[in-house]
Amino acid sequence: MKPPVKIAITGAAGHIGYALVFRIASGAVFGPDQPVILKLLEIPQALESLSGVGMELEDCALPLLHDVVLTDDPAIGFREADYAILIGAKPRSKGMERKDLLTENAKIFSAQGRAINDHASRDIRVLVVGNPANTNALIAAANAPDLDARQFTAMTRLDHNRAMGQLANRTNSLVADITRMTIWGNHSTTQYPDIGDCLIAGRPALDLVSRDWAIDHFIPCVQRRGAAIIAARGLSSAASAADAVVDHMHDWATGTKEGDWVSMAVPSDGSYGISEGIVYSFPVTCSGGNYEIVQGLDLDEFSMTRLRATEKELLGEREAIADLLPGK
């Protein structure tokens, strides 16, 4: 049997964490022959709730689950972790300015970045889910100077999956037939869901839907889907967010399918003219636990305008917390 991998999860007693931990423990991310140790981290006031999650995991008697660690101490939670999924974040409260939200989360993700730097495996792979996810990932990476910034990513797979579902519904297709979907930029309403290179059963998506539909309906629907779910349920996305975490980590760990790519927010290397350093969603392929940004896509003026708009927002977020970054 393979040695177990250790997965640290923050905010593990919350809605997304609760929907996620059982799927990881049952093999959905790392496969049916890979044992796991879950290291579940919460704030002190949520430890009682976290103990209930631990009891349920025990009651499932999952053969791949070798151990569960419940803690409010980041040093314990991240110790020797091979993967970290950072869900816990401060939500935006009524009347809070965006800069205040960025500043409050900068404190959280600075501390987590330092703990990961000091205690985690040197080969750790980190996914930031807590919003504003892109800039929170930037902050965490900046506070882990002994690690490569490429080890830190943010989640736009939920947006990617939402786009897949919308396109499948519009074209009466199967999601499994859709390839080469792309989300560019920030996990926010400035993101750019792009079907310019998308294929449906090998046919260009734009042969099956009109450009007007894509601009007037598809793009804003994907951008605002989270708000639509809150309006309908009174709660933010949880099950679909957990599912996107599974997809992101599975593809990163085990590789993307031949001829396809996925969307991941990663530190920009200057590809497509995007400013280096910001955590920006690109189309990527994965292999051997690494990712590569897909190169050479032909983007028209409309697309480049959208890429620049979401880049501008991310640059503004970085500027808003610049004085909180190490060395500033």
Q: Which of 62-71, 88-97, 134-143, 233-242 has the lowest mean pLDDT?
A: 88-97
For 316, the 3-state DSSP assignment is helix
Residue numbers annotated as active site: 187
Mean pLDDT of 208-234: 96
Residues with Cβ within 8 Å of 215's Cβ and at least 6 positions away in sequence, in order, are 302
Domains and CATH numbers, the chain: 5-154 (3.40.50.720), 157-317 (3.90.110.10)
pLDDT tens, 57-114? 999 999 999 999 999 999 999 999 999 999 999 887 777 777 888 999 999 999 999 9
Query: Which carries the bigger pLDDT value, residue 139 or residue 95?
Result: 139
Q: Please tell me the distance from the alpha carbon of residue 68 to that of residue 220, in angstroms, as a whole number.
A: 41
pLDDT band, very low/low/confident/very high, at 328 (cuts 50, 70, 90):
low
pLDDT tens, 173-197? 999 999 999 999 999 999 999 999 9
State the amino acid at position 211 in one-letter form: R
Note the pLDDT of residue 304.
Answer: 98
Question: What pTM was computed for the model?
Answer: 0.97
Percent of the chain with pLDDT over 70: 99
Tell me the torsion sign for CA atoms 145, 146, 149, 154.
Answer: negative
pLDDT band, very low/low/confident/very high, at 50 (cuts 50, 70, 90):
very high
> Mean pLDDT in the chain?
96
Strands 262-267 and 203-204: unpaired
Other Cβ atoms less than 10 A from the Cβ of 324: the count is 16
Exposure string (b/e) for 303-322, b if CB count within 10 Å is 16 or more?
beebbeebbebbeebbebbe
pLDDT band, very low/low/confident/very high, at 298 (cuts 50, 70, 90):
very high
Asked whether residue 212 carries a pLDDT value surpassing 60, the answer given is yes
Residues with Cβ within 8 Å of 205's Cβ and at least 6 positions away in sequence, in order, are 167, 171, 178, 195, 198, 199
Note the pLDDT of residue 51.
Answer: 98
